[in-house]
Amino acid sequence: MQEELLESMFRNQEQHWWFTTKRNIVVDQIDRYIDPFHNMSILDIGCGSGLMIQVLNKYGTVFGMDTSEQCIEFCKKLGGTNLALGALPKDIPFEANKFEMITALDVIEHIDDDGGSLIAIIDLLKNDGLLILTVPALNLMWTNFDEINDHKRRYSKSELRRKLKLAGFEVEFISYYNSILFPLAFVGRMYSKLFGVKSKSELEPPFPFINRVLAKVFGLELYILRFFSFPVGLSLIAVARKSSHDGNCEPIDGSRNST
């Protein structure tokens, strides 16, 4: 990702409606699947500008991995300590079967070998460990913003589920999200395609009032996702588990939900 985009992300992540609400949705899904009193070993792959490192600390010992030295420095500024340079699927500075939870939030769409990356992730997990994964959705929504963010692809729900299963995961939950605002986003992106409008950045927050409104609307999905999965959306979120082949292995989660 371009350095100026990383700088913008770091500068705006605590205010921008997209980043703050996405974080809250991810945390709500984590809370549904784990024992909150279990001190876990956690890896945030693609720790980026450090927003999740701060939040994940309450669940246990957090490690971060990123391909960018700039991102490692951002994470240090926000209190990250167990940080390392690395890249999926082969340049990984951690041993196998180390982590009880891994987050990979908007990561694998940047990697040519996404299938191999999911296999690498499952190897890092302990038996019954959880993966929390987000990716951009629907090739129909592809714009030049995907290109400047170095995306290789966007995903459909069925494609993401298939790739997770091929890697050996059991998919516990999968849904589109950023769905309520999808009609507006669809119109905007189709307009951009039709008239060749080039978006420079979607990382700068809108006017404060609009930012608050968008955060409130998007935030409704946190509650809806506890009961339903959306049929369409700008992004996908999945919770997947490395199944245990040892009947004596105790699960680390406290609850289940269904798609």
Q: Token match 């929390």: residue? A: 132
Cα–Cα nearest to 257, from 186, 177, 175: 175
What sign has the CA pseudo-torsion 42, 47, 51, 54?
Answer: positive
Q: Is residue 37 part of a domain?
A: yes
Residue 251 is predicted with a pLDDT of 41
Number of domains the chain contains: 1
Structural domain containing residue 62: 3-242
Q: Is residue 255 part of a domain?
A: no
Q: How far apart are CA 4 and CA 8, in angstroms?
A: 6
Lowest mean pLDDT among 25-39, 48-62, 153-167, 198-212: 198-212
pTM: 0.90
Please determine, for residue 171, whether its predicted confidence score (pLDDT) is greater than 90: yes
What is the C-alpha to C-alpha distance for residues 82 and 10, in angstroms, rounded to an integer? 19
Residue 124 resides in a domain: yes
Average pLDDT, the chain: 89
Q: Has residue 80 been placed in a domain?
A: yes
Q: What is the CATH number of the domain that holds 156?
A: 3.40.50.150
Mean pLDDT check: name the lowest of 12-16, 48-52, 193-197. Answer: 193-197
Asked if the structure places residue 114 within a domain, the reply is: yes
Q: C-alpha angle 155/238/246, rounded to 5°?
A: 125
**For residue 168, how many other CB atoms are within 10 A of its CB?**
15
User: Does 254 map to a domain?
Assistant: no
Q: Which residues contact 200 (CB under 8 A, 6 or more apart)?
A: none
Q: What pLDDT is stored for residue 35 in this prediction? A: 84
In angstroms, the Cα distances linking 112 to 68, 101, 115, 250 are: 17, 24, 9, 35
Which is nearest to 215 in space by CA: 180, 171, 246, 190?
Answer: 180
Confidence check: pLDDT of 250 > 50: no
Residue 135 lies in a domain: yes
| Model confidence pLDDT, tens digit, residues 173-199 | 999 999 999 999 999 888 887 877 665
Residue 64 lies inside a defined structural domain of this protein: yes
| CA-based nearest residue to 53, from 81, 19, 94 | 81
Q: What tokens were used for 108?
A: 């694998």
**pLDDT tens-digit profile of 112-141?**
999 999 999 999 999 999 999 999 999 999
